[in-house]
């Protein structure tokens, strides 16, 4: 790249001028290296990758770093911390009833038991959840979501990364508008980049119906305060005091009809924690506090009970607690680790944790899609297949359609659902919402779905890996080399 730029500059400018331009590019790269070392001090491989990019791609590496490379949101961190402090002052919590904390929570999420860490680490103490239902497939999920919206009586709060303007997105928006016209208080918060068409086309008619609509961090390319690389990837719907929906599904046709996905419907005290996540994001975007959703009634039926630990992670947090939770869950597993992710690009420590689990004789299974909507992610994902297979892990590629499901199943009593993928972007850059669920019933349901997905998949064999051509191996290694830059 450097030589090509030099040839180009010398074809356009006199040789001396071209040399001065290249010298300026080198000086900019050298001046940027200290920023890389500070921002990536805990990730030496990522730091090395960025330094190589700075030196190998004149000007382009520098521009890429200042627009994409930084993981901080210093002003926004301060604002979000102030938001949390204001909410704690205005909405003091009643002390939760004593809970019997199972081993799976005590050992895997010890940081969730050390008081209320909502605003410093984004980790909520364990809370009861009742009537937990796994909604597998878009038809079942959207039917339940739209039924809940139609039955709303007091308030709806919705937070989504993507809200499409296709027939599915417009239909759900119209149902919400109908409830708003009927007097239901509705607030919708969508990501400013992922849902840009929604904000452009559907926000106005929704506001005309009485819905409050806000966009989270519209794209900003200013190098001194970039925001377009920090997206709100959360998916959350809260309806009255009755139920909430979390998971990996956005609002759109592909989620309803084309992809394999799932979400979880739940009730109980956990809704208070999920509502606090929405309140914090709403306050951050609008600078206005809103009251709590009505509390769940004490007498509500408890057809199934679980204990849920909610983690709201993002680049405004000092610790990456979703990633920590995944790591601890894998390293503390006693029988099995089953993981499904559409974008499976684990860092070195997570790969080591999965390898160690497999080497200990645990049943380790990785499920990813054969057809991926991001080709670079698919290549990077396959680069780690060899070392996982050699350790004894089983790897499956789902065949029928794109698999957007994201969950982790550990032993017989822990399940992890939410919006986070197993990649750097979800663990470090995006605002994510994840729920660690201690429940044998939920675990069994997700296990049944996972087993069916495996039967519909092609299992990667050692022969498959050995038959890869040199070109494919190089492409996969190159894609994996780029993954720390994300």
Q: Which residues are catalytic?
A: 233, 235, 240, 404, 406, 411
Q: Which among 144, 140, 150 is positioned nearest to 174, based on CA atoms?
A: 150
Burial class, 319, CB count within 10 angstroms (exposed 0-12 / middle 13-18 / buried 19+): middle
Q: Where are the alpha helices (DSSP H) in 129-266?
A: 138-150, 167-181, 196-201, 203-208, 253
Q: Is 293 exposed, middle or buried (0-12, 13-18, 19+ CB in 10 A)?
A: buried
Residue 10's Cβ-side half-sphere holds a number of Cα atoms within 13 Å equal to: 9
Q: Where are the alpha helices (DSSP H) in 40-65?
A: 44-56, 60-64
Residue 129 DSSP SS3? strand
**How many Cβ atoms are within 10 Å of 471's Cβ, its own excluded?**
8
Q: Which H or E element spans position 79?
A: helix 74-90
Q: Which residues contact 174 (CB under 8 A, 6 or more apart)?
A: none
Q: Which strand (E) or helix (H) includes residue 458?
A: strand 457-459
Cβ–Cβ under 8 Å, residues 421 and 406: yes
Report the C-alpha gap between 216 and 263 in whole angstroms: 22
Give the burial class of 356: count Cβ atoms within 10 A of its Cβ; 0-12 exposed, 13-18 middle, 19 or more buried: middle
């Amino acid at each position: 790249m450097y030589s090509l730029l030099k040839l180009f500059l010398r074809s356009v400018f006199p040789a001396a001028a071209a040399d001065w331009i290249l010298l300026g590019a080198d000086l900019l790269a050298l001046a940027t290296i200290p920023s890389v070392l500070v921002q990536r001090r805990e990730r030496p491989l990522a730091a090395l990758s960025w330094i190589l990019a700075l030196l190998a791609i004149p000007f382009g590496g520098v521009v890429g770093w200042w627009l994409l490379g930084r993981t901080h949101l210093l002003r926004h961190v301060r604002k979000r911390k102030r938001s949390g402090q204001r909410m704690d002052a205005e909405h003091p919590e009643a002390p939760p009833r004593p809970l019997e904390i199972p081993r799976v929570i005590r050992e895997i999420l010890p940081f969730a038991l050390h008081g209320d860490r909502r605003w410093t680490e984004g980790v909520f103490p364990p809370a009861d959840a009742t009537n937990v239902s796994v909604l597998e497939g878009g038809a079942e999920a959207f039917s339940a979501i739209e039924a809940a919206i139609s039955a709303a009586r007091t308030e709806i709060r919705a937070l989504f990364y993507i809200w499409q303007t296709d027939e599915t997105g417009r239909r759900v928006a119209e149902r919400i508008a109908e409830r708003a016209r009927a007097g239901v208080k509705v607030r919708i918060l969508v990501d400013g980049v992922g849902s840009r068409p929604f904000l452009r086309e559907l926000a106005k008619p929704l506001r005309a119906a009485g819905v409050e609509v806000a966009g989270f961090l519209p794209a900003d390319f200013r190098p001194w305060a970039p925001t377009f690389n920090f997206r709100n990837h959360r998916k959350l719907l809260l309806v009255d005091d009755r139920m909430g929906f979390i998971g990996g599904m956005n609002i759109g046709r592909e989620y309803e009809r084309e992809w394999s996905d799932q979400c979880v419907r739940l009730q109980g005290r956990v809704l208070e924690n999920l509502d606090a996540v929405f309140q914090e994001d709403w306050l951050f975007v609008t600078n206005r506090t809103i009251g709590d959703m009505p509390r769940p009634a004490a007498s509500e039926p408890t057809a199934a009970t679980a204990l849920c630990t909610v983690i709201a992670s993002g680049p405004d947090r000092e610790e990456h607690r979703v990633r920590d939770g995944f790591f601890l869950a894998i390293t503390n597993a006693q029988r099995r680790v089953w993981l499904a992710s559409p974008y499976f690009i684990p860092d070195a420590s997570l790969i080591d944790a999965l390898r160690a689990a497999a080497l200990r004789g645990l049943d380790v299974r990785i499920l990813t899609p054969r057809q991926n909507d991001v080709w670079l992610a698919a290549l990077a994902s396959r680069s780690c297949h060899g070392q996982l297979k050699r350790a004894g892990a089983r790897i499956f590629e789902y065949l029928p359609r794109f698999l957007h499901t994201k969950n982790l199943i550990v032993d017989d009593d822990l399940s992890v659902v939410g919006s986070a993928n197993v990649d750097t972007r979800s663990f470090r850059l995006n605002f994510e919402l994840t729920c660690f669920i201690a429940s044998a019933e939920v675990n069994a349901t997700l296990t049944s779905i996972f087993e069916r997905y495996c039967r519909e998949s092609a299992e990667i064999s050692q022969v498959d890996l050995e038959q890869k051509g040199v070109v494919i191996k190089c492409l996969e290694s190159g894609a994996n080399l780029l993954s720390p830059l994300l």
